[in-house]
């Protein structure tokens, strides 16, 4: 999972960020189930979280001046 690769400093994993990310996704998906959401809702939520996390990683990397190159 992408959230498992959370970092504060490039090349150094952030264990607490990973734990927070896991709990966020787990509680949100459990909440969707408790609210009676459709069977496809957790998959959609996971996909949206992945897209937002990747987008935030790119934005923050560019702010630091070392953003990822797409080409």
- The ranges assigned to domains in the chain are 2-64
Radius of gyration in angstroms for the set of CA atoms belonging to the chain, rounded to a whole number = 14
Rounded CA-CA distance 23/20 in Å is 5
* Paired residues of 9 in beta bridges: 12
Using 50, 70 and 90 to split pLDDT, how confident is the model at 1? very low
Alpha helical stretches, state H, 2-70: 15-34, 41-64
CA geometry: angle 10, 15, 46, nearest 5 deg: 90
Q: Which two tokens stand for residue 23?
A: 């709990």
Predicted pLDDT at 20? 79
pLDDT in tens, 17-69: 778 778 888 898 899 888 998 989 888 998 898 888 778 777 877 777 765 55
Q: Which residue has the tokens 């934005």?
A: 59
Which pLDDT belongs to residue 15?
Answer: 74
Task: Check residue 11 and give its pLDDT.
Answer: 56
Report which of residues 41 and 13 the model is more confident about: 41
pTM of whole model > 0.75?
Answer: no
């Amino acid at each position: 999972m992408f959230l498992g690769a959370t970092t504060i400093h490039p090349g150094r994993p952030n264990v607490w960020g990973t734990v927070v990310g896991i709990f966020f996704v787990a509680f949100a998906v459990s909440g969707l189930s408790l609210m009676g959401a459709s069977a496809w809702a957790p998959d959609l939520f996971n996909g949206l979280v992945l897209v937002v996390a990747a987008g935030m990683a790119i934005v923050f990397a560019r702010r630091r001046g070392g953003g990822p190159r797409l080409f």
